[in-house]
């Protein structure tokens, strides 16, 4: 003898209430009290793996060298059902299965198995169906990992993208529902109030991490924005997107600006436009030694002296450069580090090398040459007497004292008893190696 239709409706109502309480947002249904079937709905059953595993995708858009997808959660199997009036006592639940990543033959085989479960139970079966799909379906269908799937278009998106997005959302939900001990305030917090750093996976409460990073950004200590865990081995620099997610868009933008500024300041090929109304960063063209052209205002200037472009052959006005070099050479290590951030370490190294070479050159010139009294060209004496003739302007002068000499009577200077160079024409020279001029008289 069969139970009445009223009994079936009571069982259906109880089943709907139980499934709603257990699966919450994963269960939706509609009720029609006038027309059968009374209840229709969709129950989504999450498929979770014991551990993260790999899925390889094949298809025209996936090369054999493309990396596999590493997932812990797969998009759900959906039970789309309708309850006949005499379900469950006389008739089975009407249903079909949908799943984005399962093959058609897998779904049909699984439907036959679920129908067999109703035949055995002859009672409300939605919960039995859900448990079987969740815990036994992969083994029953002999689905093993690494899994290979064809990367087809589904609803305008690629299957690989759909699975990746779903897995990330499911893991985020797991994280939000879990509890963690913050390494900063040392209090236990629910995951929805925490943040997990992407590279090292260390977890801190959002409030502590945000306040700590905002303080570092305001002080300009962006190099210290990394995992606060003292035992963290990664010590990686956080990306601008990750920092912005922690501190908010306003402070995130400041962090990005400081990162860009630091990058420009440490780049030896970057300077700034010297025009006060511009001051845009300018990257030096490797084809030119000194010439820079601002990409923003098109101002042409010298990379070394920061003045209007004066041509490659015209020397720079080096007063400011010399001051910077002296300050750097006399600075302590911390001040040097600051100057290297401002001017670029390679720039300063080159300026120091150039200044040192210039100093050595000046010393050598002063020790080994005598400037022409007319044009000031340094003249080196490699041999001969101390009567010199400038190779540039042909002025006659004394190599010992640097004074001008009358070209008509060049040796009078060396025979003048009042001259400091009297009788010193051959000072520093082996006289035996040279012919003494006929007009030179030794008194």
Pairing of strands 39-58, 69-83: antiparallel
Among 136, 130, 112, residue whose Cα is nearest residue 46: 130
Catalytic: which of 273, 372, 385, 390? 385
How many CB atoms are closer than 10 A to CB 119? 10
Dist CA 286 CA 22 (whole Å): 68
Among 99, 52, 51, residue whose Cα is nearest residue 76: 99
> Which DSSP symbol is given to 404?
B
Token pair of 243 as six digits: 């920092």
CA of 296: how far to CAs of 233, 273, 277, 299, 386, in Å? Answer: 42, 9, 11, 8, 58
**Do 294 and 275 form a contact (C-beta atoms < 8 A)?**
yes
Dist CA 388 CA 385 (whole Å): 8
Is 182 known to be catalytic? no
> Which DSSP symbol is given to 90?
T
Question: What residues contact 173, with CB distance under 8 A and at least 6 apart?
Answer: none
Compute the Cα dihedral for 274, 277, 279, 285 and give only its sign.
negative
**Do 126 and 19 form a contact (C-beta atoms < 8 A)?**
yes
Active site residues: 385
């Amino acid at each position: 003898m069969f139970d009445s239709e009223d009994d079936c409706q009571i069982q259906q109502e109880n089943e709907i209430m139980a499934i709603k309480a257990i699966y919450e947002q994963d269960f939706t249904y509609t009720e029609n009290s006038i027309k059968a079937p009374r209840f229709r709905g969709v129950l989504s059953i999450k498929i979770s793996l014991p551990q993260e595993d790999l899925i390889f995708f094949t298809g025209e858009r996936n090369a054999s060298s493309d990396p596999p997808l590493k997932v812990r959660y797969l998009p759900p199997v959906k039970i789309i059902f309708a309850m006949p009036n005499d379900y469950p006592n006389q008739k089975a639940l009407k249903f079909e299965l949908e799943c984005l990543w399962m093959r058609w033959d897998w779904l049909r085989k699984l439907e036959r198995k679920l129908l067999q479960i109703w035949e055995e139970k002859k009672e409300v079966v939605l919960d039995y169906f859900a448990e079987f799909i969740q815990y036994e379906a992969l083994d029953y269908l002999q689905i093993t990992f690494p899994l290979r799937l064809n990367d087809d278009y589904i609803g305008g998106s690629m299957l690989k993208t759909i699975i990746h997005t779903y897995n990330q959302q499911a893991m985020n939900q797991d994280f939000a529902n879990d509890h963690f001990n913050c390494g900063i305030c040392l209090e236990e917090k629910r995951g929805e109030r925490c943040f997990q750093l992407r590279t090292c996976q260390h977890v801190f409460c959002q409030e502590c991490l945000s306040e700590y990073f905002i303080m570092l950004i305001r002080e300009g200590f962006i190099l210290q924005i990394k995992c606060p865990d003292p035992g963290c081995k990664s010590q990686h620099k956080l990306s601008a997107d990750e920092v912005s997610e922690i501190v908010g868009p306003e402070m995130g933008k400041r962090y990005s600006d400081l990162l860009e500024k630091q990058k420009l300041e440490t780049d030896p090929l970057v300077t700034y436009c010297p025009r006060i109304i511009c001051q845009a960063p300018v990257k030096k063209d490797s084809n030119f030694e000194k010439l820079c052209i601002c990409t923003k205002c098109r101002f042409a200037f010298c990379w070394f002296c920061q003045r209007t472009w004066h041509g490659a052959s015209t020397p720079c006005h080096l007063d400011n450069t010399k001051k910077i070099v002296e300050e750097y050479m006399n600075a302590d290590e911390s001040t040097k580090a600051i100057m290297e951030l401002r001017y670029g370490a390679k720039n300063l190294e080159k300026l120091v090398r150039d200044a040192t070479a210039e100093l050595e050159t000046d010393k050598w010139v002063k020790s080994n040459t005598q400037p022409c009294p007319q044009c000031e060209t340094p003249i080196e004496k490699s041999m001969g007497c101390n009567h010199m003739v400038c190779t540039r302007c042909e002025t006659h002068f004394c190599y010992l004292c640097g004074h001008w000499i009358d070209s008509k009577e060049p040796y009078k200077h060396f025979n003048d008893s009042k001259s400091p160079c009297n009788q010193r024409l051959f000072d520093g020279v082996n006289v035996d190696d040279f012919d003494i001029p006929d007009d030179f008289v030794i008194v």
